[in-house]
Amino acid sequence: MTRARIAVLAVLFAALAALAALAATAALAATAALAATVTGAAWASGRTPSGPAGTMMAASCHGTGMMGDGAYGSGMMAGSYGVAGDGRRVDSLAGARQRAQVLADRWGLRVGEVMSFANGFYAELLTSDRQGATEVLIDPANGGVTVEYGPAMMWNVSYGMRSGAVAASPRVSAADAVTVAQRWLGEQRLGLTADNAEQFPGYYTLHTLRGAAIAGMMSVNASTGAVWYHTWHGQFIAMSEE
């Protein structure tokens, strides 16, 4: 075999290798795109069934990472969606209320219910006429306050990442939300029941109960009926009303 022929074959083999690598890259990209589409569809549960109290059963939206099961952290969403901590530890419901009010003042809101969990503090922010506006987390380590990850960040059409979106009339009523939540709990969290639904812009949030005691929280999307269980709180400890 002449050197010229060997050189030609070498070029052909190199070209084939490059084409194979390109095809593999394209396949991986297509797989990733498909996975993202499937995940997004399951997460949003954007189905339009016959009725919210009928066949509407949404997927649970929870996971690790930004919405992980560990202690609250405030650095990730400071700025537009929170206020930095003052470096002082928060170890009481009253202290958590004071810190939450710092963010509430920025938006002309007031603090309503405050809850203590194993992983930190939760508070709801209300409008002047006591309507639900959004939900926040207070980092007990330094007093940082952020809009709660999950529904408050992703579904809220007034104070979350969808702020400014046109708010459609809810297709899911508060009573429907309780029905959807209870059905989901019956399949995914046996022994828990859904409490009353409190409305926020774009969704509802409910306490989950074990008997008469608060066990946790969950939310139901007001347009799709999707369910998002709040896995990040940890064990419930105490609560104070406004």
pLDDT in tens, 170-226: 899 999 999 999 999 999 999 999 999 999 999 999 999 999 999 999 999 999 999
Give residue 2's pLDDT band: very low, low, confident or very high (50, 70, 90): low
128 and 96 in one domain?
Answer: yes
What percent of the chain shows pLDDT beyond 70?
A: 65
Looking at the domain assignment, is residue 86 inside a domain?
yes
**Predicted local confidence at residue 160, as pLDDT:** 81
**Predicted local confidence at residue 172, as pLDDT:** 95
Burial class of residue 194 (count of CB atoms within 10 Å of its CB; 0-12, 13-18, 19+) = buried
d(CA 94, CA 188): 34
Structure-model confidence comparison of residues 216 and 46, the more confident one: 216
**Predicted local confidence at residue 80, as pLDDT:** 74
Q: How many domains does the chain have?
A: 2
186 and 79 in one domain?
Answer: yes
Please compute the mean of the pLDDT values over residues 75-99 and round it to a whole number. 84
d(CA 137, CA 121): 6
69 and 39 in one domain?
Answer: no
What does the longest C-alpha to C-alpha distance in the chain come to? 90
User: Model-level pTM greater than 0.75?
Assistant: no
Looking at the domain assignment, is residue 103 inside a domain?
yes
Residue 11 scores a pLDDT above 50 = no
**Predicted local confidence at residue 81, as pLDDT:** 82
**Predicted local confidence at residue 14, as pLDDT:** 54
26 and 108 in one domain?
Answer: no
Contact 98, 143 (CB under 8 A): no
Which pLDDT tens digit goes with each residue over 124-161?
Answer: 999 999 999 999 999 999 999 999 989 999 999 998 88
93 and 168 in one domain?
Answer: yes
User: Which residues fall within 8 angstroms of residue 187, CB to CB, at 6 or more apart?
Assistant: 57
Looking at the domain assignment, is residue 91 inside a domain?
yes
Please compute the mean of the pLDDT values over residues 98-105 and round it to a whole number. 96
Looking at the domain assignment, is residue 50 inside a domain?
no
> What is the extent of the structural domain holding 182?
65-240
